[in-house]
Amino acid sequence: MKQFIPAMLSFLLCVSGMAQPLLTKITENRFLVWKGDKVGVADSQHRIIVPFEFDKIEFQNKRLVVRIKDRYGLYTLNYHELLPVRYKFILPRPQDRFILLTHESLFGLADNNGNMIISPEYNFMSSMDGEHYVVMNKQKLNGVYDFHGNLVVPMEYKFFTIDGSKVFAEKNNRAQIVDINHLDSPVILDRSITLIFTERHFSSAEEFFQIIKKDEKYGLMNANNGLIIPIIYDEMKSSGSWKFFIIKKNGKYGMLKIDGSIPVPPAYEKIVPKKEGVELFRKGNKKEFFGYWN
């Protein structure tokens, strides 16, 4: 081992042409090595396995995710091409899967051998739990595939908030809570309830919430069909923090916390979300600030 390390460093100095070597061990007998601003892969016998032609290489799901300029591809550790360098991104997911995005902005799913599990034809894709993938087609309808590529929820829904296996969804203009593991028993909500797009707000127990509208008033539900915030507000929308909602009552805006408290009573003409909090404007455009750390 003492003899190997100096030999490896000497080798890297030669191939990099730099004063000091740059190397990262990614797995047994494989090292990322740099030559100028290009990266390749060498083994412990000083052999270049992957030539210095990539701008970036990441080791994910036992494969090499490579990048040239703004295009990504997938290779084995022995420099065998699995997916050509033509994708906008390749995102590793559990179960040795990769979400793909083409430069035509279409999503698909491949395994770590480059086999297409879900063809890249969807306008959106995200992993629910590592076992299931939500997709959206050109008609803006959602469905769910399992990680084998089986369609387990048909493309008949419009999805809103997803909480584990439960989804706030609309089908045939009817709001409901669907459990993807029990499609035959959805919770059908009152016909007068409308689902409102909601950023992912959750409690400390990671229970996600959904904004609902009924009779021109707004409130908040959880995926267990529980009413968290009564339907009494003139408006409710997501803020820049998962802990807070912006509310409107009697023509004025305030801030509602997920525990039901109101740290900023509705007394403002306008509320503008910022990175660390919100700007509050009273009549006359006088500006105040409320921090998300409150």
Q: In this structure, what are the phi and psi dihedrals at residue 9, rounded to the nearest 5 degrees?
A: -65, -40
State residue 22's pLDDT score: 58
What are 139-178's pLDDT values in tens digits? 999 999 999 999 999 999 999 999 989 999 999 999 999 9
pLDDT above 70 for 251:
yes
State residue 118's pLDDT score: 98
Cα 52-71-15 angle, rounded to 5 deg: 10
Structure tokens at 16: 């990099």
224-249 burial code (b ≥16 CB/10 A, e <16): eeeebbebebebbbbbebbbbbbbbb
Q: What is the model's pTM?
A: 0.84
What are 183-199's pLDDT values in tens digits? 999 999 999 999 999 88
Percentage of residues in the chain with pLDDT exceeding 70?
91
What are 34-53's pLDDT values in tens digits? 999 999 999 988 899 999 99
